[in-house]
Amino acid sequence: MTAMESSPTRKVALKRILSRPGPFVDELNPEAYEFLSNMKILVIGAGGLGCEILKNLALSGFTDIHVIDMDTIDISNLNRQFLFRPSDVGKPKALVAAEFVMKRVKGVTITPYYGKIQDKDESYYSQFGIVVCGLDSVEARRWINATLVDMVDAENPESLKPLIDGGTEGFKGQARVILPTLTSCYECSLDMLGTQQTFPICTIANTPRLPEHCIEWALALEWPKRFPDKKIDNDNPDHIQWLFETAIARASEFSIDGVTYSLTQGVAKNIIPAIASTNAIVAASCCSEALKIATSCNPYLNNYMMYSGNDSVYTYTFEHQKKEDCPVCGVVASDFWIEQDWTLGLLMEKLTTTQAVRIKSPSLRTAEKNLYLQSPPQLEEATRPNLSKLVTDLVKTGEEVSVTDPALPFSIKLRIRY
């Protein structure tokens, strides 16, 4: 025990709650406070939500906190990521955030890791009691969710790590509690994500109407044509400027107005508006659940809360149901209906735009053969001719196709139906 824990004058309000029985809990855990201060807790993301989460956990009695983040600090983070100052721009978020909170809150240790969650394996994740996630990337959340589900060993209750996940957009956000294999998981709810704004290529190429169409034209069609060997860098002002000017020229050719620098940036980077207050709400909700789970001082969220502040104050709390055919925690393959005239190429395109699949570069195989593989190059070349073949010639109706993507640690099983 540290001097702080033993001090009867510290954390009085928290200890009072943990030591008194409450009308909404059946049993009091007499060791709740010790348990809390000895539990290792992992925070994924040290951005808008992450800064709040670290602060909240440090002030909630957690003393052994770890944080992972792969980003460095950008000036546009400063309107909400309150652990960073202008002089920190360019430094790793995880390091600066950890240092700041440790300096401010006595008796707390925060261990930062500047890197990707994929760098770590099960042995790393298994040391934590709870994982709190404040990410803006769908891909990273799918990865950690699948990893934690995969880690569950029915024989060993310790292997089940509650995952608390938060997300925001503008005045809206959500917080949820995932008990891997027991409750619905992140993958189960993938179809609840807002639809990605996509524009058909033929509109962009032939009949632009909106400023966004002109920007997409510059981004998706003109850039690769003009700079075939260069990947666009969204943080390079010369690149954004080029997109902006190219889009402007396109727009004036078609008498379309509304192309601005800010819109160009928004479309190119897929910028989601973010403010301090929404991060505060969602992060606090996540951490309040972490505290309740760690101490049993009150019942925890089962299992989803949505918040919206655009019009009045609105919350919707409900139990999101587990999906039988969830590729991560489910038990059966899901049906995927296709039209008779679909080619494999078209099926691939549909998979990338289907809400419940959302995969960027799918590789497809059946139990018997490879349909299309993105890599290695020789197999890509060998399977490429399949893209123009009809799916009905390659797959029997009812046959299972396994879809994989290098970004996801699991495969999606689809039963093709036609």
Partner 1 sequence: MQKAGETDVPRSATPHVVSARDRKYDRQLRLWAANGQAALEEAHVVLLTASAAGAETLKNLVLPGTGSFTVVDDKLTTEEDVDVNFFLDESSIGHPRAAKVAEFLQELNTDSVGRFESLTLSEFDKLDPSYWEKYSLVVAHQIRPSVLLPISKVLWDKKIPLVIINSIGFYARLRIVTPEHTVVESHPESTVDLRLDCPWPELERFAFGIELDGLSEMDHAHVPYLALLLIYLKQWKDAHGGSPPSTYAEKKEFKALIKTGVRSSDAENFDEAINTVWRATQATTIPSNSQAILNDDRAQNLSPSTSKFWILARAISDFTKSPSSGGHLPLSGTLPDMKADTTSYIKLQSIYRSKALEDRDWVASRVSELLLSLGRPADAISSDEVDTFCKFSRNLVVFDGRSLEEEYTPSTARAKKILQELEEENSLMSVYVGFRAVEVFEEREKRYPGTVEEVDEDEKVLKEIALEIVGSLGGTEVNERTASVLKEFVRYGGGELHNISSLLGGIAAQEIVKLITRQYVPMTNTTIFDGIQSSSAVWEL
| Catalytic positions, written as ranges | 202
What minimum distance in Å lies between the beta carbon of 217 and partner 1?
A: 12
Query: If binding is defined by CB under 8 A, does position 255 make contact with partner 1?
Result: yes
How are beta strands 334-337 and 370-372 bridged, if at all?
unpaired
Question: Binding to partner 1 (CB under 8 A): which residues in 145-184?
Answer: 170-171, 175
| Closest separation in Å from C-beta 44 to partner 1 | 18
The reply on whether position 210 binds partner 1 by CB under 8 A is yes
Stretch that binds partner 1, among 31-39, 70-78, 123-131, 392-400 (CB under 8 A): 70-78
Which of 161, 239, 323, 358: binder of partner 1 (CB under 8 A)? Answer: 239
323 binds partner 1 (CB under 8 A): no
- Among 2, 137, 270, 315, the residue binding partner 1 under the rule CB under 8 A is 315
Stretch of 20-28, 39-47, 152-160, 183-191 contacting partner 1, by CB under 8 A: 20-28
Residue closer to Zn ion, measured from CB, 335 or 349 = 335
Name residue, tokens 């800010």: 262
Q: Of residues 32, 70, 281, 294, which one binds partner 1 by CB under 8 A? A: 281
For residues 93 and 84, the answer to whether their CB atoms sit within 8 Å is: yes
Burial 135-173 (b: 16+ CB within 10 A, else e): bbeeebbbbbbbbbbbbbeeeeeebbbbbbbbbbeebbb
**Helices 237-253 and 261-269: crossing angle, nearest 10°?**
110
In this structure, are residues 347 and 338 in contact, taking their beta carbons and an 8 Å threshold?
yes
CB-CB contact of 177 with 291 (8 Å): no
Q: Which does 309 bind (CB under 5 to 8 A by kind): partner 1, Zn ion, none?
A: partner 1
187 binds, among partner 1, Zn ion, none (CB under 5 to 8 A by kind): Zn ion
Rule CB under 8 A: say whether 201 interacts with partner 1: no
Helix, strand or coil, per DSSP, at residue 176: strand
Q: Which residues in this chain contact Zn ion in the complex, by CB under 5 A? A: 185, 187-188, 326, 328-329
- Length of the chain measured in residues: 418
Task: Give the helix/strand (H/E) hosting 164.
Answer: strand 163-169
- Binding residue for partner 1, selected from 262, 376, 377, 393, defined by CB under 8 A: 262
Report the Cα 305 to chain-centroid distance in Å: 16
Kindly report the backbone phi and psi dihedral angles of residue 168, in degrees, each rounded to the nearest multiple of 5, phi listed first.
-140, 160
Rounded to the nearest whole angstrom, what is the least distance from the CB of residue 338 to partner 1 in the complex? 17
